[in-house]
Amino acid sequence: MQKVSILGFPGALASTITGMIDLFQLAGVTWARIQGERPERRFEVQLLTADGGPCQCLNGIALLAHGSLADSDPGDLILVPTIGGPIEETLDQASLLLDWLRQQADSGKSIASNCTGAFLLAEAGLLDGRKATTHWGFSPLFRQRYPNVDCVPEQLVTVDGPIACAGGGTAWWDLGILLIERYAGAQVARELAKAFVVDAGRRSQAPYAALQTRRYHQDDTILALQDWLDARFTHPLSMDDMARQSGLSSRSLLRRFKAATGETPHRYLQLLRIESARHLLETTARSVEQITQAVGYEDVSSFSRLFKDSTGLSPNAYRSRLGR
C-alpha cells in the first residue's frame, strides 16, 4: 500500500483536500464494491500540517490532521492543495512549508500541486526549468513571479520528472486519476474513474480561459492598442495597420506586444475573434457559419480549425459543453 501525504495550511481549499483523500482512499475499493468483489485499498492517505494541529481551510472548516511535518513519514507522494486565500499573503507566511517541500524534493519524493498550489512549489524553487501549470486566471502573476518556470496554463495537467501540476478548480480529479494510474496501474485508475463518473480524458483549460488575462501589464502603448483592437477586430487588420496606430515600428511593436501579453499582435487578434465566437456560441443560437462571418472570417473550415487549436474543442463541441 502506497502512502500519500496532503500538505495542509491555513486558507487551503477544503474540497481539494477532502476530495483527494476520498479519491485515493477509495482506489481499489469503490469499483470492487460495485462489482460485488473484495475491496483492496491501494493507498493510505494522511493530512499533515506544520504543527500537527487542524488545517483551518478557507471556508471555515477545520480538518483534523494526522500528524505534523516534522514527526511524520510523508511516504512517496506529496500533494499540495489549492491556495484558497490571498496567494502572496500565504507565500509570505509559508517559510516552514517551503523548507519542508525542498527537503522532500531533495530526498526524492514525488510532489504534485493543484491549481494555485503550484505557487508554493515555484516559491520553493522546485519548478525552475520545469514545465508547470496553474489556474489560467492566475497565470500572469505566476509568470511574473517565476520567470524561470515554463508555465503552460492552457494545459490541464503537466508532469515534469517527479513534479506534477494541475490547473484550476476541479482539475485535482484529473491529477488524481493520473497519479493513481502511475502508482496503482491503469486498470485501477480506469475503474475508479468509472466508479466516480469522472471524464478522465480532459487535457486542456483553454475552453475556460478568458482573454482578459492578457491585459495584466503596465505598457500603456500596448494597452491603448489593445483597446483599439477590441473595437475593430472584426475588420481586416494588418501588422502595418497596428504599427501605425501604435506609433511604433513593426519590429518594436512585435517585441513590446510579445513582452506585455505573451502573444504576437497577429495571434492576439485571432484570440479576440475566438473570444467573440465563444461568447456567441455560449449565448446565441446562430449557426457556426454566421458566427464565423460575424467575427471577421470568411472560411468556416479554416476558422473551425483555428478555434479547435485554441480551445481544444470544435465550435459545435464547445457549444454543446458550454452553451446556455
pLDDT band at 203 (very low <50, low <70, confident <90, very high): low
Q: What is the mean pLDDT of residues 256-273?
A: 90
What does the chain come to in residues? 324
The kind and range of the H/E element at 79 are strand 77-80
Q: What is the mean pLDDT of residues 289-312?
A: 91
pLDDT band at 283 (very low <50, low <70, confident <90, very high): confident
Sign of CA dihedral 289, 295, 296, 302: negative
Determine contact, residues 172/181, Cβ cutoff 8 Å: no
Which residue's C-alpha cell is 475556460?
A: 208
Q: Write out pLDDT tens, residues 18-61.
A: 999 999 999 999 989 999 999 999 999 999 999 999 999 999 99
Confidence (pLDDT) at 216? 64
Q: Distances from the Cα of 88 to the Cαs of 12, 99, 119, 164, 292, in angstroms?
A: 13, 17, 9, 22, 41
Confidence (pLDDT) at 22? 94
Q: Does residue 205 surpass a pLDDT of 80?
A: no
Q: What is the mean pLDDT of residues 104-112?
A: 96
pLDDT band at 169 (very low <50, low <70, confident <90, very high): confident
Determine contact, residues 314/304, Cβ cutoff 8 Å: yes
Mean pLDDT of the chain: 91
DSSP 212-266: GGGG-S--HHHHHHHHHHHHHTTS---HHHHHHHHTS-HHHHHHHHHHHHSS-HH
Confidence (pLDDT) at 204? 59
Q: Write out pLDDT tens, residues 269-282.
A: 998 999 899 889 98
Higher pLDDT, 91 or 215: 91
Confidence (pLDDT) at 128? 97
CATH architecture classification, 210-322: Orthogonal Bundle (1.10)
Determine contact, residues 165/118, Cβ cutoff 8 Å: yes
Confidence (pLDDT) at 310? 83
Determine contact, residues 171/152, Cβ cutoff 8 Å: no
CA dist., res. 137 & res. 121, Å (int): 18
Which residue's C-alpha cell is 491603448?
A: 224
Domain residue spans of the chain: 2-207, 210-322
Confidence (pLDDT) at 48? 98
Q: What is the mean pLDDT of residues 160-180?
A: 90
pLDDT band at 200 (very low <50, low <70, confident <90, very high): low
Confidence (pLDDT) at 174? 87
The grid coordinates of residue 180 equal 493513481
pLDDT band at 207 (very low <50, low <70, confident <90, very high): low
Higher pLDDT, 201 or 104: 104
Confidence (pLDDT) at 156? 86
CATH of 2-207, one of 3.30.70.260, 3.40.190.170, 3.40.190.10, 3.40.50.880: 3.40.50.880
